[in-house]
Structure 1
């Protein structure tokens, strides 16, 4: 290394061209001035080792070798630092030999500095780290919102947005000086973590678009391609992080170029969704525009050999802000829209269910309703059931017509409804059911039956004779179901009709001294 460093013919200075084709690449820094450097700093990427030489005016050489695993992280975001051998006023050159460099940026961005803090100052000083910390805090808020959204609305796009936000948060931490301040992990650990997290970011962004754009507002082929793009991004990043030296001279460029199809599919998907009128795509288009620009810059500078590679860090951070603001607004709006649609559908379903459980003629609930409500009504204290049948209703229809018969049924329904302790239902034809609660359930039922002639006579004119009804009443014993209770009351109704109609047969289980009914006492069993 010393012989190569001293061979002036081997050096190519001032051309601005960097190549990683060789297994060992040399960089030379000429030292002048009063401020002496103490550190080498450069962009993190996979490498094997760094050799550092300080060459004095008289030819004295001091050497320091640092394996990749021992390299420290710099406060300058995304950089590693290596301590130089002693640099004195007699030192004229610092030569750096990098074994197996895997990315041109490691060569292009290398520089020497007296302090690591000065490196931080060169990218915006500590205030910049405070801004990044604030941005990291902003990224935490969508995670909290998404947790609340997902509890109310189990939609996959909420989870994918959380994964995207989390990956962006992790990217900010590992690509900036925040990780050094908080954890200080080795530089190579942050290097492979950055690569792996980048794949997670691309994959979660593709899956978020796949699930976030409304159904029918993206071409089916594009929607099917997005999960494959996500899988491809994960594979690329995992492979590149685990095996960075497989095709080292071209691997970084090939890795960058391999994301081009993913970027194209994503851009075409959003454009297609916009063309179809997707509101979700509008938020994505605004929120992801800086990120797409970052991707294009990295793609072009990473593939074109004569361009210096750049990762557009500042634009990436701006893209994070846009992503946080606009995609979170999009998720919130989509959440409200879906919830409104589901609430509308639920209300419509409940309305249809109520209609299916309501008798259209009388407005009373039907048998379907009583069977669905029975267990709850029993819990609420309803422990007696009465079956009521209008006497000689067929004759009313035959003599007066069906329209008059319908009016009679409506009047009977009005007569049976009386307060919170009585629930009236129409089972069909001229048959009605009452559910009752209270110690005087049989009395309440009898009062409702006896109210029928007067209310019908007052409501329906021209009948010529009173309209009466027969009734069977029974109590609830034990855990009997509705069918058992109804069959027993129906048998009592049959007994009342057989005994001459216009009367009641009751089988209420007495829990206290029986109470006399207002009339027809002799007809009550």
Structure 2
């Protein structure tokens, strides 16, 4: 476990290094101001490009972005391109839409256009972006207008740009390396989840595994890493990123509801956290599908319906920390950076301000750090649960021992032997010896129960000392003991135990006026009759033989060897030198 902790802390160091790489990468992209649209506007579906050539229709303040209207417009002025090669590609954030039409507007009012369906977009391996070819742009072109029908996302508008080559668009090499590093950081926690679940069958491990898989999906699709491996439709890429994020946030809430220590969350708070997780998977998850029928509201609704997850998480963690939860402190450290970066992404998604896609790098790094710290928390919780279970098992064993052991002598009690009798009989313990101390009541009457208890302990020690691995001693209660024996010469071994009792009591309990002897009734069952006898039947027969021994003068043994089942014997004493088969 110490090695596991060292590995996890190493991952955290790698994450911090990656975070350092993210900042210059983001600054690198922010320097590309020429790529950004100069103005934007919205209109109804019947508005034409010619009608958008007037200055009154445009918002050039960089604020007020909308993705709820039927049509969104972007305008790129060509003044900034003078003296440089004209742009040839339009690129933007991967998001759902119905159609994009691009117009080149010349100074004389000429419009040239190209129109593309959603399926015409070409994703490329430099981030979550796709490109479309511009109509011919000449030295007479004063602006490029872009009409986007049914836009589902504000970043589709704010992160749009023009480029001469696709190498000038998308993420930098440093950012792609960062994403690859984050993905590598996510793989090992998933393997640990599998290992933990094989040992620790807890639901929170499964929820964490779902969360890790969802975060890996988010990095693959929102980071655009998947396009470096396989070419996928724009619509699929646009849906998968927010869907993975919704599933990951929901799984995080489910994980939190199950992960914290017992009592860390009140019953109502635990339920709120659990159902908030279900809500986050179901509602934002549905909105992430971005059906064209929901275009007017799904973008804003997605962000507003996923926001309660951050609120519930924050309240639940504060609630648990105030209750002294150690695990909640781990989770708070892991999730605080992720909550902050999610709020930043939420602000861009709602159009509060416009920023480059490179800002997502902060969220990706926070995601990697979150999973690593949570893995460390799971390892810590794993140790705590294992210690709790070990303590519970120890207590259970102690309780079992108390329930199956005689508290005075330490021998097995009647309850234990009756529960295991069939098993022991099958193991060959086919000799049943019932021992009873002679005139034991007189010891209690003359010397008191404390001396009587000492005599019982000495008797148990004598039986235990004279026994071996093929004998089991039991105290039935009072002054009665049972010894089960198997193997050779069981009758002689039982008699040796009986004879050892007076000597051990005399040694351990001085001051008794007379030696304390024992009488014994022994039943030996032949193998052929083994399945016909129960404990009660053995006891009844041995008890009758023991009383025969007492009636014959005590301090002796009576035995019987059984081959078939018959009624308990009566009226005749058997000595070691005599016996019969019944």
**What is the TM-score of this pair, normalised by structure 2?**
0.80
Task: Determine the structure 2 residue equivalent to 1:308.
Answer: 354
Matched, 1:493 2:546: yes
Tell me whether 203-212 or 133-142 shows the greater mean CA deviation. Answer: 133-142
Work out the number of aligned pairs and report it.
Answer: 513
Task: Give 2:463's match in structure 1, choosing from 416, 422, 428.
Answer: 416
Task: Give 1:184's match in structure 2, choosing from 231, 249, 264.
Answer: 231
Matches within 5 A, 1:483-522: 483-508=536-561, 521-522=576-577
Task: Determine the structure 1 residue equivalent to 2:4.
Answer: none
Give me the whole-angstrom Cα distance separating, in 1, the residues matched to 2:405 and 2:52: 100
In the TM superposition, what is the alpha-carbon distance from 1:378 to its structure 2 partner? 3.9
| Contact 1:290/1:318, CA 8 A, preserved across alignment | no
Give me the whole-angstrom Cα distance separating, in 1, the residues matched to 2:107 and 2:261: 70
Give me the whole-angstrom Cα distance separating, in 2, the residues matched to 1:21 and 1:504: 101
| Contact 2:247/2:285, CA 8 A, preserved across alignment | no
Residues 351-408 of structure 1: per-residue CA shift (max 9 Å, x gap): 1221222222222221122233434534544332211111222233233333332222
Change (3 A) 1:225 1:136: same
Change (3 A) 1:403 1:240: closer
| Contact 2:75/2:146, CA 8 A, preserved across alignment | yes
Task: Determine the structure 2 residue equivalent to 1:374.
Answer: 421
Task: Determine the structure 1 residue equivalent to 2:6.
Answer: none
Task: Determine the structure 2 residue equivalent to 1:359.
Answer: 406
- 2:521 aligned counterpart, secondary structure: strand
Give me the whole-angstrom Cα distance separating, in 1, the residues matched to 2:476 and 2:307: 69
In the TM superposition, what is the alpha-carbon distance from 1:75 to its structure 2 partner? 2.0
Change (3 A) 1:443 1:2: same
Task: Determine the structure 2 residue equivalent to 1:514.
Answer: none
Task: Determine the structure 1 residue equivalent to 2:16.
Answer: none
Give me the whole-angstrom Cα distance separating, in 2, the residues matched to 1:346 and 1:323: 34
Change (3 A) 1:445 1:7: same
Task: Determine the structure 2 residue equivalent to 1:169.
Answer: 216
Task: Determine the structure 2 residue equivalent to 1:513.
Answer: none
Task: Give 2:195's match in structure 1, choosing from 148, 163, 169.
Answer: 148
- 2:550 aligned counterpart, secondary structure: helix
| Contact 1:503/1:523, CA 8 A, preserved across alignment | no
Task: Give 1:451's match in structure 2, choosing from 476, 482, 500.
Answer: 500
| Contact 1:21/1:249, CA 8 A, preserved across alignment | yes
| Contact 1:42/1:109, CA 8 A, preserved across alignment | yes
| Contact 2:100/2:115, CA 8 A, preserved across alignment | yes
Change (3 A) 1:365 1:310: farther
Give me the whole-angstrom Cα distance separating, in 1, the residues matched to 2:497 and 2:285: 79
Give me the whole-angstrom Cα distance separating, in 1, the residues matched to 2:422 and 2:231: 64
Matched, 1:12 2:58: yes
Matches within 5 A, 1:370-449: 370-378=417-425, 380-417=427-464, 418-449=467-498
- 1:229 aligned counterpart, secondary structure: helix
Give me the whole-angstrom Cα distance separating, in 2, the residues matched to 1:70 and 1:131: 29
Give me the whole-angstrom Cα distance separating, in 1, the residues matched to 2:169 and 2:290: 30
| Contact 2:239/2:290, CA 8 A, preserved across alignment | no
Give me the whole-angstrom Cα distance separating, in 1, the residues matched to 2:347 and 2:224: 26
Give me the whole-angstrom Cα distance separating, in 1, the residues matched to 2:253 and 2:178: 28
- 1:149 aligned counterpart, secondary structure: helix
Matches within 5 A, 1:464-483: 464-476=513-525, 477-479=529-531, 480-483=533-536
Tell me whether 457-466 or 162-171 shows the greater mean CA deviation. Answer: 457-466
Tell me whether 190-199 or 88-97 shows the greater mean CA deviation. Answer: 88-97
| Contact 1:298/1:309, CA 8 A, preserved across alignment | no
Change (3 A) 1:461 1:250: closer
Matched, 1:100 2:150: yes
Unmatched 5+ residue regions in structure 2? Answer: 1-46, 564-573
Task: Determine the structure 2 residue equivalent to 1:329.
Answer: 376
Task: Give 1:271's match in structure 2, choosing from 303, 312, 318.
Answer: 318
- 2:430 aligned counterpart, secondary structure: strand
Tell me whether 375-384 or 211-220 shows the greater mean CA deviation. Answer: 375-384
| Contact 1:364/1:413, CA 8 A, preserved across alignment | yes
Give me the whole-angstrom Cα distance separating, in 2, the residues matched to 1:154 and 1:458: 55
Task: Give 1:43's match in structure 2, choosing from 93, 105, 121.
Answer: 93
Task: Determine the structure 1 residue equivalent to 2:509.
Answer: 460
Give me the whole-angstrom Cα distance separating, in 1, the residues matched to 2:315 and 2:490: 72
Tell me whether 346-355 or 395-404 shows the greater mean CA deviation. Answer: 395-404
Tell me whether 479-488 or 449-458 shows the greater mean CA deviation. Answer: 479-488
In the TM superposition, what is the alpha-carbon distance from 1:208 to its structure 2 partner? 1.4
| Contact 1:34/1:89, CA 8 A, preserved across alignment | no
Structure of greater relative contact order (alpha carbons < 8 Å, 6+ residues apart):
2
In the TM superposition, what is the alpha-carbon distance from 1:35 to its structure 2 partner? 3.7
Change (3 A) 1:81 1:495: farther
CA-atom RMSD, angstroms?
A: 2.9
Give me the whole-angstrom Cα distance separating, in 2, the residues matched to 1:498 and 1:243: 96
Change (3 A) 1:35 1:11: farther
Matches within 5 A, 1:336-355: 336-355=383-402
Residues 25-79 of structure 1: per-residue CA shift (max 9 Å, x gap): 3323325444443432111222111123345788776543221133232323222
Task: Give 2:129's match in structure 1, choosing from 76, 79, 95.
Answer: 79
Change (3 A) 1:109 1:293: same
- 1:522 aligned counterpart, secondary structure: coil
Matched, 1:213 2:268: no
Change (3 A) 1:146 1:490: farther
| Contact 1:245/1:251, CA 8 A, preserved across alignment | no
| Contact 2:126/2:228, CA 8 A, preserved across alignment | no
